[in-house]
Amino acid sequence: MTGIDLTGLEVRPAQVWGGVRLVPLVRAAPVAGLRLHREVYACSGHGVDVGDGTAYTSYIPHGFVADWSGEGAGAESAAYGSRLGGEPRTVPVRGPHHRLAKRQRAKSGRAEPRLRFLPLHLALEGYLALHFGGPSTVWEEWSREAVRQGLSPRAEAAYAGWSVPGLGEALRVFEIHPGQCGLMLYVADALAAAFVVPHPDDYRLLHPTLVEDLYGELVHQYAHYGAPVPEFTARIRDAAGGGRTLADLRAAAVAQERDWAAGHDGLMARDLLETSYAFERVYRMDGFELLRFLPPFRRGGTEQHIGELITDHKGRTAYLKTFRLSENQIRRGHLLQRLADHDWHLGRTAEALGTSYRELVLRIQRAGFGSLLNAHEVARRLRETKEG
């Protein structure tokens, strides 16, 4: 598995609010055997112990609970963590979570067929942990701290959805389609995020959480400075000798929707759907797998996303959530990948990148990794290079 398979999901014409374009994704039938619920936390900003002595800290407004018991599939059921009327029941956070994805247990201590995970944070942890251990070989150019502690601490900036101009209003007035199980979110016609769930009832429950999700720096900038985007319009022209019956109009409308879907998949969402990703399995359920993925960190202006998804036994997507990386985040990922590919040897890495030793040192510093370098040894190597 190297790509994202959206088999079973169909595109509907977009809805526009200013610079925000929302593209509905609908299913003819829900994914059997899996439901997603929301778990609300009373407080945010707590750390997550990832199990190796390090901690992940972030803004955490809510968690998702994946339920593969089968009780919710094809039947009426109330989602865990919600109720009619009043404030939603909250789950207080007392101290750090143990893991970003954790099997839930009943009061009896027995494991339930539920998995609690933090949406998007699985993906972000995967990106922040990229070659987190630092230099694999003790080259003299790297500091003792780099060898001992690696890339600790590591931080990246993101924006909550409510701070993205126009997003809250767009989500509030958005018309949810029958059978809708997801959407593609565009800002200034740049893909900001994709969100997919297994069941239409799950989507109706989780649609408001999109304004609490995290979005990248590029999305925030586009929302501030981008112009309003054109709305979806359809023109039905009279064909030569054609009639004007309701059947003719219906056929023309279906053709317009088909053209819109083909244009969307072939142009607007092409980078997301045609990229080859590196997948890491986080958890295996009954017939389902929870995975997170990283892009190839290619330079050159193509959009790249990190994310997480749940697939069925055929590899089809039941759940998907993505985060678009900024150009600076892509550069950092690309640099770390190339350093790791060459055992963190600066000379060989510079040669592979087609640049000089001096320029590579500058790139490491500009990427925010300058503190990992042994300044005295790097200065000596630079003098030797200049003299040579």
More confident residue, 349 or 270: 349
Q: Is the dihedral of CA 127, 322, 274, 203 positive or negative?
A: positive
Q: Residue 181: which residues within 8 A CB-CB, separation 6 or more? A: 9, 25, 26, 27, 30, 196, 197, 198, 199, 200, 202, 203
Write down the mean pLDDT value for the chain: 81
Q: Are strands 15-17 and 159-160 parallel, antiparallel or unpaired?
A: unpaired
Q: Any idea where the domains of the chain sit in the sequence?
A: 9-232+244-271, 345-387
Check whether 386 has a pLDDT greater than 80. Answer: no
Q: How far apart are alpha carbons 181 and 377 in whole angstroms?
A: 56
Mean pLDDT value across residues 61-87: 49
Distance between alpha carbon 185 and the CA centroid of its chain, in Å? 12
Q: How far apart are alpha carbons 243 and 86 in whole angstroms?
A: 54
Q: How far apart are alpha carbons 208 and 213 in whole angstroms?
A: 10
Q: Where are the alpha helices (DSSP H) in the chain?
A: 121-128, 144-149, 167-173, 200-206, 217-225, 246-263, 270-274, 327-341, 346-353, 357-366, 375-387
Q: What is the crossing angle of helices 327-341 and 346-353, to 10°?
A: 120
- Say if residue 259 is exposed, middle or buried (CB neighbours under 10 Å; 0-12, 13-18, 19+): exposed
Check whether 113 has a pLDDT greater than 50. Answer: yes
Confidence of residue 54 (pLDDT cuts 50, 70, 90): low
pLDDT digits (tens, 9 = 90+) for 218-247: 898 999 888 888 887 767 766 544 557 888
Most confident of 49-63, 271-285, 334-348: 334-348
Q: How far apart are alpha carbons 138 and 144 in whole angstroms?
A: 9
Quote the pLDDT of residue 142: 93
| Of 277, 307, 279, residue with least CA distance to 295 | 277
Q: What is the pTM of this model?
A: 0.81
